[in-house]
Protein backbone atom coordinates (compact mmCIF):
# COMPACT_ATOMS: atom_id res chain seq x y z
CA UNK A 1 0.00 0.00 0.00
CA UNK A 2 1.30 3.43 -0.85
CA UNK A 3 1.31 6.35 1.57
CA UNK A 4 -1.15 8.32 -0.53
CA UNK A 5 -3.64 10.50 1.32
CA UNK A 6 -7.07 9.06 2.11
CA UNK A 7 -9.78 10.59 -0.07
CA UNK A 8 -12.76 9.86 2.23
CA UNK A 9 -13.36 9.42 5.95
CA UNK A 10 -15.99 6.86 6.99
CA UNK A 11 -16.86 7.50 10.62
CA UNK A 12 -18.61 4.59 12.30
CA UNK A 13 -20.35 5.65 15.50
CA UNK A 14 -20.96 9.19 14.25
CA UNK A 15 -23.84 9.73 16.71
CA UNK A 16 -21.79 8.62 19.74
CA UNK A 17 -20.07 10.50 22.56
CA UNK A 18 -16.54 10.12 21.19
CA UNK A 19 -17.51 11.75 17.90
CA UNK A 20 -19.33 14.55 19.73
CA UNK A 21 -16.62 15.28 22.27
CA UNK A 22 -13.42 14.73 20.30
CA UNK A 23 -13.75 13.91 16.62
CA UNK A 24 -16.03 16.72 15.39
CA UNK A 25 -13.85 19.44 17.00
CA UNK A 26 -10.79 17.80 15.43
CA UNK A 27 -12.43 17.82 11.98
CA UNK A 28 -13.37 21.46 12.45
CA UNK A 29 -9.74 22.27 13.32
CA UNK A 30 -8.59 20.44 10.17
CA UNK A 31 -11.14 22.41 8.13
CA UNK A 32 -9.74 25.66 9.54
CA UNK A 33 -6.27 24.73 8.29
CA UNK A 34 -7.61 23.88 4.82
CA UNK A 35 -6.58 20.22 5.08
CA UNK A 36 -10.07 18.70 5.12
CA UNK A 37 -10.71 18.04 1.44
CA UNK A 38 -12.72 14.83 1.42
CA UNK A 39 -16.23 13.56 2.00
CA UNK A 40 -17.03 12.45 5.55
CA UNK A 41 -19.54 9.61 5.71
CA UNK A 42 -21.08 9.20 9.14
CA UNK A 43 -22.51 5.77 9.91
CA UNK A 44 -24.76 4.79 12.83
CA UNK A 45 -27.91 2.86 13.66
CA UNK A 46 -30.05 5.91 14.45
CA UNK A 47 -32.52 7.08 11.79
CA UNK A 48 -31.15 10.61 11.56
CA UNK A 49 -31.55 13.18 8.83
CA UNK A 50 -28.53 15.07 7.53
CA UNK A 51 -29.97 18.16 9.23
CA UNK A 52 -29.86 16.38 12.59
CA UNK A 53 -26.22 15.44 12.00
CA UNK A 54 -25.41 19.06 11.12
CA UNK A 55 -27.01 20.17 14.38
CA UNK A 56 -25.00 17.58 16.34
CA UNK A 57 -21.72 18.67 14.75
CA UNK A 58 -22.43 22.36 15.33
CA UNK A 59 -23.36 21.71 18.96
CA UNK A 60 -20.14 19.75 19.46
CA UNK A 61 -17.96 22.55 18.13
CA UNK A 62 -19.77 25.18 20.20
CA UNK A 63 -19.22 23.13 23.37
CA UNK A 64 -15.58 22.44 22.54
CA UNK A 65 -14.57 26.08 22.34
CA UNK A 66 -16.89 27.95 20.08
CA UNK A 67 -17.16 28.73 16.38
CA UNK A 68 -14.63 31.30 15.25
CA UNK A 69 -14.53 30.47 11.54
CA UNK A 70 -17.92 30.28 9.86
CA UNK A 71 -16.40 29.44 6.47
CA UNK A 72 -14.61 26.42 7.96
CA UNK A 73 -17.81 25.25 9.63
CA UNK A 74 -19.77 25.59 6.39
CA UNK A 75 -17.08 23.62 4.57
CA UNK A 76 -17.15 20.85 7.18
CA UNK A 77 -20.94 20.58 7.07
CA UNK A 78 -20.90 20.52 3.26
CA UNK A 79 -18.65 17.46 3.32
CA UNK A 80 -20.94 15.43 5.59
CA UNK A 81 -23.03 12.46 4.48
CA UNK A 82 -25.06 10.10 6.64
CA UNK A 83 -25.76 6.39 6.32
CA UNK A 84 -28.14 4.79 8.78
CA UNK A 85 -28.00 1.05 9.25
CA UNK A 86 -27.09 -2.01 11.26
CA UNK A 87 -23.43 -3.08 11.12
CA UNK A 88 -24.57 -6.66 10.50
CA UNK A 89 -26.60 -5.63 7.45
CA UNK A 90 -24.95 -5.82 4.03
CA UNK A 91 -27.10 -2.94 2.77
CA UNK A 92 -25.43 -0.58 5.25
CA UNK A 93 -22.11 -1.07 3.50
CA UNK A 94 -23.74 -0.72 0.08
CA UNK A 95 -24.98 2.67 1.31
CA UNK A 96 -21.45 3.61 2.37
CA UNK A 97 -20.15 2.79 -1.11
CA UNK A 98 -22.77 5.00 -2.71
CA UNK A 99 -22.05 7.87 -0.30
CA UNK A 100 -18.31 7.65 -1.05
CA UNK A 101 -18.94 8.54 -4.69
CA UNK A 102 -15.66 8.53 -6.61
CA UNK A 103 -13.48 8.10 -3.50
CA UNK A 104 -11.28 5.00 -3.67
CA UNK A 105 -8.92 5.36 -0.69
CA UNK A 106 -11.14 5.65 2.38
CA UNK A 107 -10.06 5.74 6.00
CA UNK A 108 -12.55 3.83 8.17
CA UNK A 109 -12.66 5.16 11.74
CA UNK A 110 -14.20 2.72 14.25
CA UNK A 111 -15.48 5.04 17.01
CA UNK A 112 -17.75 2.24 18.22
CA UNK A 113 -17.84 -0.21 21.15
CA UNK A 114 -14.93 -2.69 21.00
CA UNK A 115 -17.39 -5.58 20.79
CA UNK A 116 -18.26 -4.39 17.26
CA UNK A 117 -14.70 -4.04 15.90
CA UNK A 118 -14.53 -7.53 14.39
CA UNK A 119 -18.04 -7.29 12.94
CA UNK A 120 -17.31 -4.06 11.09
CA UNK A 121 -13.83 -5.07 9.92
CA UNK A 122 -15.14 -8.33 8.43
CA UNK A 123 -18.06 -6.51 6.82
CA UNK A 124 -15.69 -3.98 5.22
CA UNK A 125 -13.73 -6.86 3.72
CA UNK A 126 -16.85 -8.61 2.45
CA UNK A 127 -18.12 -5.38 0.87
CA UNK A 128 -14.80 -4.76 -0.92
CA UNK A 129 -14.30 -1.56 1.07
CA UNK A 130 -10.88 -2.50 2.39
CA UNK A 131 -8.94 -2.23 -0.87
CA UNK A 132 -6.51 0.73 -0.76
CA UNK A 133 -8.18 1.69 2.54
CA UNK A 134 -7.06 2.28 6.11
CA UNK A 135 -8.79 1.32 9.34
CA UNK A 136 -8.46 3.40 12.52
CA UNK A 137 -9.29 1.42 15.65
CA UNK A 138 -9.97 3.11 18.99
CA UNK A 139 -8.65 1.68 22.22
CA UNK A 140 -9.05 -0.69 23.97
CA UNK A 141 -7.53 -2.98 21.36
CA UNK A 142 -8.75 -6.21 22.95
CA UNK A 143 -9.60 -6.78 26.59
CA UNK A 144 -6.84 -9.31 27.32
CA UNK A 145 -3.97 -11.02 25.49
CA UNK A 146 -6.15 -13.63 23.77
CA UNK A 147 -8.71 -11.12 22.46
CA UNK A 148 -5.96 -8.72 21.31
CA UNK A 149 -4.37 -11.52 19.31
CA UNK A 150 -7.75 -12.47 17.85
CA UNK A 151 -8.52 -8.88 16.87
CA UNK A 152 -5.08 -8.53 15.27
CA UNK A 153 -5.69 -11.71 13.28
CA UNK A 154 -9.07 -10.48 12.04
CA UNK A 155 -7.76 -7.01 11.15
CA UNK A 156 -4.78 -8.44 9.28
CA UNK A 157 -7.00 -10.85 7.37
CA UNK A 158 -8.78 -7.83 5.84
CA UNK A 159 -6.21 -4.99 5.86
CA UNK A 160 -2.43 -4.93 5.30
CA UNK A 161 -0.58 -4.34 8.56
CA UNK A 162 0.56 -0.87 7.48
CA UNK A 163 -3.09 0.09 6.90
CA UNK A 164 -4.12 -0.65 10.51
CA UNK A 165 -3.94 2.38 12.81
CA UNK A 166 -4.40 1.55 16.50
CA UNK A 167 -5.21 4.90 18.04
CA UNK A 168 -4.31 6.00 21.57
CA UNK A 169 -5.01 9.73 21.83
CA UNK A 170 -2.41 10.04 24.60
CA UNK A 171 0.33 9.59 22.00
CA UNK A 172 -0.93 12.68 20.17
CA UNK A 173 -0.54 14.98 23.17
CA UNK A 174 2.21 17.57 22.85
CA UNK A 175 3.41 16.89 26.40
CA UNK A 176 3.77 13.16 25.71
CA UNK A 177 5.79 13.78 22.55
CA UNK A 178 7.96 16.17 24.53
CA UNK A 179 9.13 13.28 26.75
CA UNK A 180 10.81 11.68 23.73
CA UNK A 181 12.31 15.00 22.66
CA UNK A 182 13.50 16.01 26.13
CA UNK A 183 15.19 12.67 26.75
CA UNK A 184 17.19 12.50 23.55
CA UNK A 185 17.73 16.18 22.67
CA UNK A 186 19.59 16.91 25.92
CA UNK A 187 22.93 15.33 26.79
CA UNK A 188 22.89 16.07 30.54
CA UNK A 189 20.16 13.52 31.22
CA UNK A 190 21.67 10.33 29.83
CA UNK A 191 24.48 9.82 32.44
CA UNK A 192 21.96 9.69 35.31
CA UNK A 193 19.07 8.02 33.46
CA UNK A 194 19.60 4.53 34.87
CA UNK A 195 19.46 2.29 37.95
CA UNK A 196 22.66 3.80 39.39
CA UNK A 197 21.06 7.21 40.02
CA UNK A 198 17.30 6.67 39.91
CA UNK A 199 15.63 5.14 42.95
CA UNK A 200 12.09 4.83 41.60
CA UNK A 201 9.68 6.33 39.09
CA UNK A 202 6.02 7.01 39.69
CA UNK A 203 3.23 7.95 37.30
CA UNK A 204 -0.14 9.34 38.30
CA UNK A 205 -3.15 9.92 36.07
CA UNK A 206 -5.90 11.28 38.30
CA UNK A 207 -9.40 12.53 37.53
CA UNK A 208 -11.60 14.45 39.97
CA UNK A 209 -14.84 13.11 38.47
CA UNK A 210 -16.55 9.72 38.33
CA UNK A 211 -17.59 7.44 35.49
CA UNK A 212 -20.45 9.82 34.60
CA UNK A 213 -22.55 8.11 31.91
CA UNK A 214 -19.95 5.41 31.20
CA UNK A 215 -21.02 2.97 33.91
CA UNK A 216 -21.87 0.21 31.44
CA UNK A 217 -18.49 0.54 29.74
CA UNK A 218 -16.60 0.65 33.03
CA UNK A 219 -18.29 -2.54 34.17
CA UNK A 220 -16.66 -4.32 31.21
CA UNK A 221 -13.29 -2.60 31.50
CA UNK A 222 -12.17 -1.12 34.83
CA UNK A 223 -9.25 1.21 35.43
CA UNK A 224 -6.48 -1.29 34.64
CA UNK A 225 -7.81 -1.92 31.14
CA UNK A 226 -9.12 1.59 30.50
CA UNK A 227 -6.07 3.65 31.43
CA UNK A 228 -3.03 1.81 32.75
CA UNK A 229 -2.45 -0.94 30.17
CA UNK A 230 -2.46 1.63 27.37
CA UNK A 231 -1.98 5.29 28.41
CA UNK A 232 0.41 4.82 31.33
CA UNK A 233 2.32 1.95 29.72
CA UNK A 234 2.95 4.18 26.69
CA UNK A 235 4.46 6.83 28.96
CA UNK A 236 6.60 4.17 30.67
CA UNK A 237 7.89 3.05 27.28
CA UNK A 238 8.96 6.59 26.34
CA UNK A 239 10.72 7.05 29.68
CA UNK A 240 12.40 3.63 29.70
CA UNK A 241 13.33 3.04 26.04
CA UNK A 242 16.88 3.03 24.73
CA UNK A 243 17.90 5.72 22.21
CA UNK A 244 16.56 4.79 18.77
CA UNK A 245 19.07 4.69 15.92
CA UNK A 246 17.03 7.28 14.01
CA UNK A 247 13.81 9.27 14.48
CA UNK A 248 12.11 7.03 11.95
CA UNK A 249 8.89 5.69 13.48
CA UNK A 250 9.99 2.07 13.00
CA UNK A 251 13.14 2.65 15.05
CA UNK A 252 11.18 4.33 17.86
CA UNK A 253 8.57 1.56 17.85
CA UNK A 254 11.28 -1.09 17.99
CA UNK A 255 12.74 0.38 21.18
CA UNK A 256 9.32 0.82 22.78
CA UNK A 257 8.44 -2.79 22.00
CA UNK A 258 11.63 -3.92 23.77
CA UNK A 259 10.46 -2.14 26.92
CA UNK A 260 7.13 -3.99 26.90
CA UNK A 261 8.96 -7.27 26.34
CA UNK A 262 11.21 -6.55 29.33
CA UNK A 263 8.32 -5.74 31.70
CA UNK A 264 7.91 -8.39 34.38
CA UNK A 265 4.39 -9.90 34.34
CA UNK A 266 2.34 -8.59 37.24
CA UNK A 267 1.45 -10.63 40.32
CA UNK A 268 -1.55 -10.02 42.61
CA UNK A 269 0.80 -8.64 45.28
CA UNK A 270 1.88 -5.90 42.82
CA UNK A 271 -1.66 -4.57 42.53
CA UNK A 272 -4.05 -2.46 44.60
CA UNK A 273 -7.59 -2.00 43.35
CA UNK A 274 -10.04 0.59 44.66
CA UNK A 275 -13.64 1.64 44.08
CA UNK A 276 -14.98 5.07 44.99
CA UNK A 277 -17.86 5.33 47.43
CA UNK A 278 -21.13 5.43 45.53
CA UNK A 279 -19.87 3.76 42.35
CA UNK A 280 -22.39 0.93 42.75
CA UNK A 281 -25.21 3.47 42.66
CA UNK A 282 -24.12 4.86 39.29
CA UNK A 283 -26.40 4.11 36.29
CA UNK A 284 -25.79 0.73 34.61
CA UNK A 285 -23.47 -0.48 37.41
CA UNK A 286 -24.08 -3.80 39.20
CA UNK A 287 -25.10 -3.41 42.83
CA UNK A 288 -22.43 -5.93 43.88
CA UNK A 289 -19.77 -4.72 41.43
CA UNK A 290 -16.10 -5.30 42.24
CA UNK A 291 -14.84 -3.35 39.20
CA UNK A 292 -11.96 -1.04 40.07
CA UNK A 293 -12.25 2.71 39.53
CA UNK A 294 -8.73 3.10 41.00
CA UNK A 295 -5.66 1.03 40.35
CA UNK A 296 -2.10 1.24 41.66
CA UNK A 297 0.64 -1.17 40.71
CA UNK A 298 4.33 -1.85 41.12
CA UNK A 299 6.15 -2.68 37.90
CA UNK A 300 9.68 -3.86 37.13
CA UNK A 301 11.54 -3.69 33.80
CA UNK A 302 14.15 -6.41 33.57
CA UNK A 303 16.71 -4.61 31.42
CA UNK A 304 20.31 -3.52 31.93
CA UNK A 305 19.28 0.09 32.47
CA UNK A 306 16.34 -0.49 34.80
CA UNK A 307 17.03 -3.72 36.66
CA UNK A 308 15.76 -3.39 40.24
CA UNK A 309 14.17 0.05 39.80
CA UNK A 310 10.49 -0.04 40.84
CA UNK A 311 7.94 1.82 38.72
CA UNK A 312 4.75 2.80 40.54
CA UNK A 313 1.68 3.56 38.47
CA UNK A 314 -1.70 4.74 39.70
CA UNK A 315 -4.87 6.10 38.17
CA UNK A 316 -8.39 6.62 39.33
CA UNK A 317 -11.74 8.35 39.19
CA UNK A 318 -12.91 10.80 41.86
CA UNK A 319 -9.41 11.57 43.08
CA UNK A 320 -8.30 14.88 44.58
CA UNK A 321 -7.51 16.64 41.30
CA UNK A 322 -7.33 16.09 37.55
CA UNK A 323 -3.71 15.82 36.46
CA UNK A 324 -1.16 13.56 34.83
CA UNK A 325 2.34 13.58 36.24
CA UNK A 326 5.62 11.65 36.29
CA UNK A 327 8.03 11.85 39.22
CA UNK A 328 11.55 10.49 38.66
CA UNK A 329 12.95 10.00 42.16
CA UNK A 330 16.75 10.32 42.29
CA UNK A 331 18.89 8.53 44.82
CA UNK A 332 20.27 10.62 47.72
CA UNK A 333 23.92 11.73 47.73
CA UNK A 334 26.27 8.88 48.75
CA UNK A 335 27.82 10.84 51.63
CA UNK A 336 25.53 12.23 54.33
CA UNK A 337 27.25 15.59 55.00
CA UNK A 338 24.12 17.55 55.93
CA UNK A 339 21.55 16.19 58.37
CA UNK A 340 18.66 18.12 56.86
CA UNK A 341 19.14 16.44 53.47
CA UNK A 342 18.81 12.85 54.68
CA UNK A 343 16.10 10.76 52.95
CA UNK A 344 14.47 10.29 56.37
CA UNK A 345 13.82 14.01 56.70
CA UNK A 346 12.95 15.05 53.14
CA UNK A 347 12.32 13.78 49.63
CA UNK A 348 15.60 13.53 47.68
CA UNK A 349 16.06 15.41 44.41
CA UNK A 350 13.66 14.55 41.64
CA UNK A 351 12.71 15.36 38.07
CA UNK A 352 9.02 16.00 37.45
CA UNK A 353 7.05 15.95 34.23
CA UNK A 354 3.54 17.34 34.52
CA UNK A 355 1.68 16.34 31.37
CA UNK A 356 -1.67 17.89 32.24
CA UNK A 357 -3.42 20.21 32.93
CA UNK A 358 -0.28 22.19 32.01
CA UNK A 359 2.88 20.88 30.40
CA UNK A 360 5.71 21.40 32.89
CA UNK A 361 9.21 20.06 33.50
CA UNK A 362 10.53 20.58 37.02
CA UNK A 363 13.85 19.81 38.72
CA UNK A 364 14.05 19.80 42.51
CA UNK A 365 17.37 20.73 44.18
CA UNK A 366 18.36 21.72 47.70
CA UNK A 367 19.53 25.31 48.27
CA UNK A 368 21.27 26.57 51.42
CA UNK A 369 19.53 29.14 53.58
CA UNK A 370 21.39 32.37 54.43
CA UNK A 371 23.41 32.17 57.64
CA UNK A 372 26.18 30.18 59.28
CA UNK A 373 24.22 26.93 59.62
CA UNK A 374 24.39 24.41 56.82
CA UNK A 375 20.67 23.93 56.42
CA UNK A 376 18.55 24.49 53.37
CA UNK A 377 15.33 23.91 51.54
CA UNK A 378 14.41 21.97 48.45
CA UNK A 379 13.38 24.32 45.67
CA UNK A 380 11.94 23.40 42.33
CA UNK A 381 13.09 24.96 39.09
CA UNK A 382 10.39 24.47 36.51
CA UNK A 383 9.65 25.32 32.93
CA UNK A 384 6.13 25.84 31.65
CA UNK A 385 6.01 24.20 28.24
CA UNK A 386 2.47 25.18 27.25
CA UNK A 387 2.37 26.82 23.84
CA UNK A 388 -0.55 28.62 22.16
CA UNK A 389 -2.02 27.10 19.04
CA UNK A 390 -1.13 23.49 19.83
CA UNK A 391 -2.94 20.85 17.80
CA UNK A 392 -5.38 18.75 19.77
CA UNK A 393 -4.42 15.04 19.96
CA UNK A 394 -7.34 13.99 17.76
CA UNK A 395 -6.60 16.67 15.18
CA UNK A 396 -3.01 15.46 14.94
CA UNK A 397 -3.84 11.74 14.92
CA UNK A 398 -6.69 12.05 12.42
CA UNK A 399 -4.52 14.07 10.09
CA UNK A 400 -1.65 11.59 10.44
CA UNK A 401 -3.84 8.54 9.86
CA UNK A 402 -5.37 9.96 6.69
CA UNK A 403 -1.87 10.86 5.46
CA UNK A 404 -0.53 7.39 6.27
CA UNK A 405 1.88 8.70 8.93
CA UNK A 406 2.22 5.90 11.51
CA UNK A 407 4.69 7.28 14.06
CA UNK A 408 2.09 8.09 16.76
CA UNK A 409 0.14 4.84 16.52
CA UNK A 410 0.77 1.64 18.45
CA UNK A 411 2.11 -1.48 16.80
CA UNK A 412 0.74 -5.02 16.96
CA UNK A 413 3.66 -6.52 18.90
CA UNK A 414 3.63 -3.69 21.46
CA UNK A 415 -0.11 -4.07 22.06
CA UNK A 416 0.23 -7.81 22.66
CA UNK A 417 3.34 -7.44 24.85
CA UNK A 418 1.55 -4.87 27.04
CA UNK A 419 -1.41 -7.21 27.48
CA UNK A 420 0.98 -10.03 28.43
CA UNK A 421 2.19 -7.92 31.41
CA UNK A 422 -1.29 -7.39 32.89
CA UNK A 423 -2.89 -10.66 31.76
CA UNK A 424 -1.99 -12.61 34.95
CA UNK A 425 -3.95 -10.17 37.17
CA UNK A 426 -6.98 -9.44 35.01
CA UNK A 427 -8.89 -12.22 36.77
CA UNK A 428 -6.58 -13.28 39.61
CA UNK A 429 -6.46 -10.11 41.68
CA UNK A 430 -7.32 -8.79 45.17
CA UNK A 431 -10.77 -7.36 45.84
CA UNK A 432 -11.33 -3.63 45.66
CA UNK A 433 -10.89 -1.28 48.62
CA UNK A 434 -13.51 1.42 49.10
CA UNK A 435 -12.20 5.00 49.07
CA UNK A 436 -13.69 8.43 49.65
CA UNK A 437 -14.43 10.72 46.73
CA UNK A 438 -11.85 13.46 46.13
CA UNK A 439 -9.22 11.58 48.16
CA UNK A 440 -6.04 10.01 46.78
CA UNK A 441 -7.49 6.51 46.78
CA UNK A 442 -7.34 3.66 49.27
CA UNK A 443 -4.68 3.52 52.00
CA UNK A 444 -3.49 0.20 50.60
CA UNK A 445 -1.91 2.14 47.72
CA UNK A 446 0.25 4.01 50.25
CA UNK A 447 1.36 0.69 51.72
CA UNK A 448 2.29 -0.55 48.23
CA UNK A 449 4.76 2.27 47.64
CA UNK A 450 5.94 2.57 51.28
CA UNK A 451 9.15 0.49 50.83
CA UNK A 452 10.33 3.13 48.34
CA UNK A 453 8.86 6.30 49.85
CA UNK A 454 5.48 7.92 49.27
CA UNK A 455 3.28 9.09 46.44
CA UNK A 456 3.81 12.56 45.06
CA UNK A 457 0.32 14.03 45.01
CA UNK A 458 -0.08 16.25 41.96
CA UNK A 459 -0.69 19.96 42.31
CA UNK A 460 -1.47 21.69 39.01
CA UNK A 461 1.34 24.10 38.16
CA UNK A 462 0.67 27.84 38.01
CA UNK A 463 2.30 30.34 35.72
CA UNK A 464 4.96 32.47 37.38
CA UNK A 465 7.14 31.91 40.46
Whether the CB-CB separation of 418 and 260 falls below 8 Å is answered with: yes
The pLDDT assigned to 342 comes to 66
| CA–CA dist 120, 43 (Å, integer) | 11
In this prediction, residue 248 carries a pLDDT of 79
Position 461 scores a pLDDT of 46
Delineate the domains of the chain, giving CATH numbers in brackets: 8-138 (3.40.50.720), 171-452 (3.30.360.10)
Predicted confidence at residue 392, as pLDDT, reads: 85
Given a contact cutoff of 8 angstroms between Cβ atoms, the answer to whether 176 and 238 are in contact is: yes
Are 105 and 2 in contact by the 8 Å Cβ rule? The answer is no
Beta-carbon neighbour count of residue 177 at 10 Å? Answer: 16
The confidence score (pLDDT) of residue 465 equals 31
Residues 6+ apart with CB under 8 A from 146: none
- What does the pLDDT profile of the chain (465 residues) look like in tens digits? 446 899 999 999 999 999 999 999 999 999 999 989 999 999 999 999 999 999 999 999 999 989 999 999 999 999 999 999 999 999 999 999 999 999 999 999 999 988 899 999 999 999 999 999 999 998 878 999 999 999 999 999 999 999 999 988 878 888 888 898 899 999 999 999 999 999 999 999 999 999 988 899 899 999 999 999 999 999 999 999 999 988 778 888 999 999 999 999 999 999 999 999 999 999 999 999 999 999 999 999 999 999 999 999 999 999 999 999 999 999 988 877 776 666 666 678 899 999 888 888 998 887 878 887 887 777 888 777 666 556 788 899 999 999 998 888 888 999 999 999 999 999 999 999 999 999 999 999 999 999 999 999 987 544 333
Residues 377/367, Cβ–Cβ less than 8 Å:
yes
**What pLDDT does residue 464 have?**
35
Q: How far apart are CA 191 and CA 194, in angstroms?
A: 8
- Beta-bridge partner residues of 172: none
Closest to 105 in 3D by CA, of 404, 408, 407:
404
Q: What is the reported pLDDT for 247?
A: 78
Q: Are 6 and 405 in contact (CB under 8 A)?
A: no
The helix, strand and coil proportions of the chain, stated in percent and rounded to the nearest 5, come to 40, 20, 40
- The pLDDT of residue 386: 61
Global pTM value = 0.90
Assess contact for 115 and 147: CB atoms under 8 A: no
**What is the C-alpha to C-alpha distance for residues 377 and 375, in angstroms, rounded to an integer?**
7
pLDDT of residue 26: 95
The 3-state DSSP class for residue 288 equals: coil
Query: Looking at the annotation, which residues are catalytic?
Result: 231
User: What per-residue confidence (pLDDT) applies to 431?
Assistant: 97
Element (DSSP H or E) covering residue 274: strand 271-276
Amino acid sequence: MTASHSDALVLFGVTGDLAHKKIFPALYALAKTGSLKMPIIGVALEQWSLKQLHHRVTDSIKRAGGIDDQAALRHLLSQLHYVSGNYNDESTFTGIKMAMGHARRPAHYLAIPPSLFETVIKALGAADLAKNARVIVEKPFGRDLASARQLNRVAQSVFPNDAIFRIDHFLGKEAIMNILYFRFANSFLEPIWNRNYIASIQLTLSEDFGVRDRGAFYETAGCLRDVIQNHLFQIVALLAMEPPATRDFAAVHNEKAKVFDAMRPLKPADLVRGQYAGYRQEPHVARNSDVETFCALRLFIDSWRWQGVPWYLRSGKYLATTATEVLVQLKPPPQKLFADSLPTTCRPNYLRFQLSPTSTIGLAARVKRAGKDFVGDQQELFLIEEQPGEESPYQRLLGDAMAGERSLFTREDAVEAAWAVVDPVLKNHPRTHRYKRHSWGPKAADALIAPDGSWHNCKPSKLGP
